[in-house]
Structure 1
Amino acid sequence: MQAKRKQSVLIITGMHRSGTSFTTSLLQNAGLDIGKRLLKPGHGNIKGFFENVDFVKFHEEVLRSQGLNEIGWTLEDKVPVQEPYRQQAKEIISKNSQVNIWGWKDPRTTLFLDFWTELLPDAKFIFIYRSPWEVVDSLYRRGDEIFMKYPELAVKLWIHYNQKILNFLDSFPDQCLLTSVYSIVSHTEEFIYKINNKFDLNLVKPAAEIYDRSLLYTQTADIHRPTLIAYYFPEAINVYAELNKREILGGSSPDEALLEQIKAIPEQTWAFQDWINIRHLEKKVKSLRFELKKRVKVL
């Protein structure tokens, strides 16, 4: 009689807006079961979040029980999970672990890494990261009210989430795979190969049409905002450099040259950049309004 293949669980996580949805869409297409009840597509993720409602609701409830923001906008080092929620988590695992290769994706998982490792000691973790300036810009464009009031929190959260990932990687290197979203885009087949090889899985090559390059906004030509982060939050640059150094695909980040430029750019240049940009946009809007009025008169 053929031996039953050992069950494997893959947990995909990382800071919000780092490419975890895209990564999970690839893995689902490659053979990873992420459940049937998924969050519907929404603003900021028109292709879908690829998040199992069971795990999302669980994380939200635990965060709320501790008086914390349910999205995960917290800098708390440890989020306690009370016993009733531990039992709930076990039930969620039992419900979703009916296949050989299963898992879930939720950025909030980063806040509960130790907890899930206790319940699933053999779980494998896939950590995805993205540059701090692109994550911050994505959060600002999404328009969450908390960042309108505390804009610096976006950078602090990026540092917090990614430092937790690095700390966990130090403790459980054999159970973790770390890579940037840029490397996954450029080396998708190698990404799947690395997962199969490290975790002894048999995921298949995902379909090419899964990825829409236009949905990943990059700022590699703009050094103003990276420089701003480097000046006020040098820790973010250090964490980003460490992530790049330890990522599994070993591909060079498109921002490595940018990091070198940051060191050389004079303060006077970037300090006034937003000011001039805003005035330039105001001038452009004024010009467009003038042209619109002219056309309306013609009609």
Structure 2
Amino acid sequence: MDNTTLVITGMHRSGTSLVTNWLHNCGLQVGESLLDAGKGNVEGHFEDLEFLKIHEEILADKGADPSGLFAPFDLIPSRYETAKMKAIISVKNARYQQWGWKEPRTCLFLSTYTELLPQARYLVLQRDYREVVQSLLKRDFSYIDDKYQARSWPVRLVWNHFYRSIRFRKHRAKYYDRYLTAWIVYNRMILKALHTLPEDRYLVVSYKSLKSQCADVFNFLTDAWSFRLTYKKFTDIYRSELINTNTDHLPETADDHLLAEAQQISGQMRAYLQKSSERLAHQAGTLSASSAA
């Protein structure tokens, strides 16, 4: 019997941890060893450490930052690295008839994974580039903020009422374009994979839509893709207070070309999101008709 594999993919800060948490609660095997909770993901990252380590190894070998958020991005795994990726998959397949994983850097290696896993299904998480950039900036800055909040009260007083806002503006000016570039690259690679995958092998969703569509997505996974899961409400694990959506005070990028490209890619991703919503609606209609009969 063929294995049933789900690749949960999307740019950093796009809701992949949240959705993987939900699927883990529904019974999907998402890894024996998972990355611990941390800053920005207090509920847990739900990242399979085996995939995380091989991705970081490839990034380091190519001279890239292990976060995968800074250039170079054009990374082709060596034969040895590809063999290690294949070995990880082989072990998973031997242990589990159905399994999946989430690790944002997967986006950088989708061309390799689509070859190694020709029958895998892809659940793609999409989030607006402004929200992603803001979330990354906020997460980074929280580490700086924590250092000052741990100091004496006079230092905290000066920091909170004067230096904090100045420092954040500098941080934003330094990293805004870099993070926007990362969003563009990750989503460009997702689009490249979607262009080549058969339509029945992928589903593009937004974590926001899952608040109302979780039953439809669950039924699609179990009926269209044959995953054996137990239904749990997405709203049971969704915590709105942990989701940052404030983009009111974000400046426009200094690079108009980056902004134009981000908007173009957003339009293409919205088209895939719409197609997937239509497929979910069709699947729900088919199930309703079958139940009525």
The TM-score with structure 1 as length reference comes to 0.75
Alignment of 1:47-126 (within 5 A): 47-76=43-72, 78-97=74-93, 98-126=95-123
- The Cα of 1:229 is off from its aligned counterpart by 5.1
Which residue number corresponds to residue 180 of structure 2?
155
Indicate the RMSD between aligned Cα atoms, in angstroms.
Answer: 2.4
Identity %: 35
Counterpart position of 1:274: none
SS in 1 for 2:205: strand
Q: Within 5 A, what are the aligned runs for 1:16-31?
A: 16-31=12-27
- Find the partner of 1:209 among 208, 212, 236: 236
- From 136, 139, 143, give the equivalent of 1:142: 139
Larger C-alpha radius of gyration, 1 or 2? 1
1-side partners of 2:14 and 2:254: how far apart?
Answer: 19
Separation of aligned partners in 2, 1:230 and 1:236:
13
Q: Distance in 2 between matches of 1:86 and 1:9?
A: 18
Tell me by how many angstroms 1:29 deviates.
1.3
Shift of 1:33: 0.4
CA contact (8 A) 2:50 2:88 kept: yes
Aligned partner of 2:252 in structure 1 is 228
Write the letter of the residue equivalent to 1:105.
Answer: K
8 Å contact 2:11–2:187 — kept in the other structure? Answer: yes
Pair 1:182 & 2:208 matched: yes
SS in 1 for 2:252: helix
The equivalent of 2:271 in structure 1 is 245
Q: Secondary structure at the match of 1:10?
A: strand
Q: RCO (CA 8 Å, sep 6+): is it higher in 1 or 2?
A: 2
**TM-score, normalization by structure 2:** 0.76
Alpha-carbon separation, structure 2, partners of 1:156 and 1:167? 16
SS at match of 1:153: helix
- Residue segments in structure 1 that go unaligned for 5+ positions in a row: 252-299
Counterpart of 2:277, as a letter, is: L
Relative to structure 1, is the Cα distance of residues 160 and 91 closer, same or farther in structure 2, using a 3 angstrom cutoff? same
Unaligned runs of 5+ in 2: 145-170, 280-293
Count of residues in correspondence between the two structures: 244
Instruction: Tell me by how many angstroms 1:150 deviates.
Output: 3.6
Whichever residue aligns with residue 261 of structure 2, its letter is: E
Deviation at 1:213, TM superposition (A): 2.2
